[in-house]
Amino acid sequence: MTSTVITHIGELVTNDPDRATTDDLLGIVADAAVVLDGTSVAWVGPAHEAPEADTYVDAGGRAVVPGFVDSHSHLVFAGDRAPEFAARMAGTPYAAGGIRTTVAATRAATDEELTARVAALVAEMRRQGTTTVEIKSGYGLTVHDEARSLAIARQFTEETTYLGAHVVPEGSDPDEYVDLVTGPMLEACAPHARWVDVFCERGAFDEDQAREVLAAGAARGLRGRLHANQLGPGPGVQLAAELGLVAVDHCTYLDDADVTALADSGTVATLLPGVEFSTRQPYPDARRLLDAGVSVAIASDCNPGSSYTSSMPLCIALAVREMRMTPAEATYAATAGGAAALDRDDVGRLTLGSRADLVVLEAPSHVHLAYRPGVPLVAGTWVSGLPQAS
Ligand code: NIG
Ligand code: FE
């Protein structure tokens, strides 16, 4: 096992709760160094105190942040929906039914085509600093196509989510489809999944159906998460809080009872600013959630319909500008927040023993992630102690 010291770091974001103060959420160390030993972080502190290591890397005063944890994506699909996006920008509203277009293309694709697409998107994410990604199924909607979607996703991440309950496929009876999702489809998918998810929304699945799918998933050892309150107010957020789910995602339309339920339950609210950007919906107010004591994550929701971006830096910039987060809060939400949304404490931070996943920024501080939107600021991404090819 070889050790590496990355030194001359102008600003190191650790997300270490022991270093954080009321003025510094991110536990920043200035003029810092970090030592990576094998796949883990072995030492963090001021550069002049750094121990010797086998290899020496000079960060040249650049900022280093924990690798981004993108806790919500749908990367297993074929085709794209650029014409639908163009029509939307000309005034056609977003509707859940567009998912069926991608389902048809995905079913028609070979395993090799789907795998190559996921590989390309994961590589695109890496180049933008994402070091942990969650990937959902949900564009297969048959036993075979959901199971193969998850088997493909598993080649790229442990954080795989069974989303057979994305929409009711064309021509299916809703009750019969829920029976399939909670029966044979779940049996085929559970071995490849860690999580179970439901699109709980008008036009997709209602509260009772969501309860049924989550309960069936739990009985097969899958932990629950939800898509909720994306297209309008609804029961999903409070359902997630009631069930004590780790995370509920979208949270675009919230009333006061939803916010209170999130604060009381500790369920992470995952905000997906790429969706509001790409669907022209109003952005949710992260400030309201943070001020109420809700844990907030930011993720890309990368998918061909509502948010075809793989860029966590773009999501950070949008969250700051449009959701009233500070640059520090958005950076935290895209790293430690994403880790919390996946119930992980080994990623999303740079502390003793954490996974050596980090991003070197072509910038002196994390603030530049929002201050310089659209600029490729990722100078290098390290995953499990290894620099990634750019
Ligand atoms: O997270 N909300 C449901 N599913 C995706 C959108 C899928 C699509 O439009 O293809 C989402 O936004
Ligand atoms: Fe989604």
Token digits of residue 87: 């029509």
Ligand 1 atom 12: residue of nearest CA: 306
Whether 303 lines ligand 1, by a CB cut-off of 6 Å, is: yes
Strand segments, DSSP code E, in the chain are: 3-12, 29-37, 40-46, 55-58, 63-66, 68-70, 130-133, 135-136, 160-165, 195-200, 223-228, 247-250, 268-271, 296-298, 358-361, 378-383, 386-387
Q: Classify residue 346 by burial, with Cβ atoms within 10 Å: 0-12, 13-18, 19+.
A: middle
Any idea what the Cα angle at residue 12 is, between residues 6 and 16, rounded to 5°? 115
At 269-286, the pLDDT tens digits run 999 999 999 999 999 999
User: Residue 41: what residue type?
Assistant: V
At 253-265, the pLDDT tens digits run 999 999 999 999 9
Ligand 1 atom 9: residue of nearest CA: 305
Residue 111 reports pLDDT greater than 90? yes
Nearest alpha carbon to residue 298 among 264, 280, 321: 321
314 close to 373: Cβ distance less than 8 angstroms: yes
Averaged over 367-371, what is the pLDDT?
Answer: 98
CA 75 – ligand 1 centroid, Å: 11
The whole-number pLDDT of residue 389 equals 84
CA 96 – ligand 1 centroid, Å: 7
pLDDT band at residue 390 under the 50/70/90 scheme: confident
Ligand 1 atom 8: residue of nearest CA: 305
CA separation for the pair 75, 292 (Å, rounded): 33
Residue 374 reports pLDDT greater than 90? yes
The whole-number pLDDT of residue 299 equals 99
Nearest alpha carbon to residue 288 among 236, 338, 324: 324
Token digits of residue 232: 């309008």
The whole-number pLDDT of residue 288 equals 98
The preferred substitution site among 162, 227, 250, 277 for testing ligand 1, maximizing ligand atoms within 8 Å of CB, is 227
CA 298 – ligand 1 centroid, Å: 16
Q: Classify residue 253 by burial, with Cβ atoms within 10 Å: 0-12, 13-18, 19+.
A: middle
The whole-number pLDDT of residue 353 equals 98
At 22-66, the pLDDT tens digits run 999 999 999 999 999 999 999 999 999 999 999 999 999 999 999
301 close to 72: Cβ distance less than 8 angstroms: yes
Nearest alpha carbon to residue 132 among 312, 332, 12: 312
Nearest alpha carbon to residue 60 among 35, 33, 26: 33
64 close to 378: Cβ distance less than 8 angstroms: no
CA 327, distance to chain mean position in Å, is: 18
CA separation for the pair 79, 304 (Å, rounded): 8
Beta-carbon neighbours within 5 Å of ion ligand 2: 301
The whole-number pLDDT of residue 340 equals 98
Whether 227 lines ligand 1, by a CB cut-off of 6 Å, is: yes
Ligand 1 atom 3: residue of nearest CA: 199
Token digits of residue 269: 């609210």
CA 142, distance to chain mean position in Å, is: 25
The whole-number pLDDT of residue 20 equals 98
pLDDT band at residue 96 under the 50/70/90 scheme: confident
Token digits of residue 244: 């004590």
Averaged over 94-105, what is the pLDDT?
Answer: 91
pLDDT band at residue 346 under the 50/70/90 scheme: very high
Residue 376 reports pLDDT greater than 80? yes
Residue 365 reports pLDDT greater than 80? yes
Per DSSP, the residues of 166-235 read: SS--TT--HHHHHHHHHTHHHHHHGGG-SEEEEEESTTSB-HHHHHHHHHHHHHTTPEEEEEESSSS--S
CA separation for the pair 361, 11 (Å, rounded): 10
The whole-number pLDDT of residue 1 equals 80
Tell me the pTM: 0.98
195 close to 164: Cβ distance less than 8 angstroms: no
Whether 141 lines ligand 1, by a CB cut-off of 6 Å, is: no
CA 184 – ligand 1 centroid, Å: 24
Average pLDDT in the chain: 97
Query: Which three-class secondary structure state does DSSP give residue 118?
Result: helix
Q: List the beta bridge partners of residue 135.
A: 160
pLDDT band at residue 95 under the 50/70/90 scheme: confident
CA separation for the pair 146, 202 (Å, rounded): 22
